[in-house]
């Protein structure tokens, strides 16, 4: 039986990538990570990929802070297509994808976000939830569109905001929920 071919994009430590690769290694997720791409030279996600023997590459993003330069995004499409990627998984990838990627992988790019969207899109959403006095936060997996965390929601998991929570403690509990939810959602694509 053919395994779902994943391309994982990230900018940071790679904790969601590790959670996905652990589920694959344990035989609980019928997928194969074909390529990990980072837009940050020393991103921890590249080390995670190496630890699991997954081909990986640093792709210099260019001069923009929030998106890839068009020629770089075209190169990303080429790399993912060469690896025969079927599902693109954003795991802490801090750039907005545009037409080259969205056209190449329609409804085949997903992202995980640390809030119950549509509340608190963008960066550091757990801090936004605390500052707003929310009683419940959590995480969302959604399809990627040209906006910021605005694509159709696939699944969510709630995380209570506890009395005395700090941004760090809330974020840590949200990440635990992310590490469980993301592989479950990917499994739905693998089973489809």
Q: Which residues are catalytic?
A: 113
Residues 166, 161: Cα–Cα separation, whole Å: 9
Class of residue 61 by CB neighbours under 10 A (exposed 0-12, middle 13-18, buried 19+): buried
SS in 3 state form for the chain?
Answer: CCCEEEEEEECCCCHHHHHHHHHHHCCCCCEEEEEEEECCCCCHHHHHHHHCCCCEEECCCCCCCCECCHHHHHHHHHHHHHCCCCEEEECCCCCECCHHHHHHCCCCEEEEECCCCCCCCCCCHHHHHHHCCCCEEEEEEEECCCCCCCCCEEEEEEEECCCCCCHHHHHHHHHHHHHHHHHHHHHHHHHC
């Amino acid at each position: 039986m053919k395994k779902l071919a994943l391309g994982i994009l990230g900018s940071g430590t790679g904790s969601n990538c590790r959670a996905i690769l652990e589920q694959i290694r344990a035989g609980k997720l019928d997928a194969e990570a074909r390529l990990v791409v980072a837009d940050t030279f020393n991103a921890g996600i590249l080390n995670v990929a190496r630890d699991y023997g997954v081909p990986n590459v640093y792709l210099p993003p260019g001069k923009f802070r929030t998106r890839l330069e068009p020629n770089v995004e075209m190169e990303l499409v080429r790399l993912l297509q060469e690896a025969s990627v079927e599902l693109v998984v954003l795991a802490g990838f801090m750039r907005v994808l545009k037409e080259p990627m969205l056209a190449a992988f329609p409804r085949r790019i997903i992202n995980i976000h640390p809030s119950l969207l549509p509340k608190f899109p963008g960066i550091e959403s757990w801090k936004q939830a605390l500052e707003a006095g929310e009683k419940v936060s959590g995480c969302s997996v959604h399809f990627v569109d040209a906006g910021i965390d605005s694509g159709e929601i696939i699944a969510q998991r709630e995380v209570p905001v506890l009395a005395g929570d700090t941004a760090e403690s809330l974020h840590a509990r949200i990440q635990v929920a992310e590490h469980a939810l993301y592989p479950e959602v990917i499994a739905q694509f693998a089973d489809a």
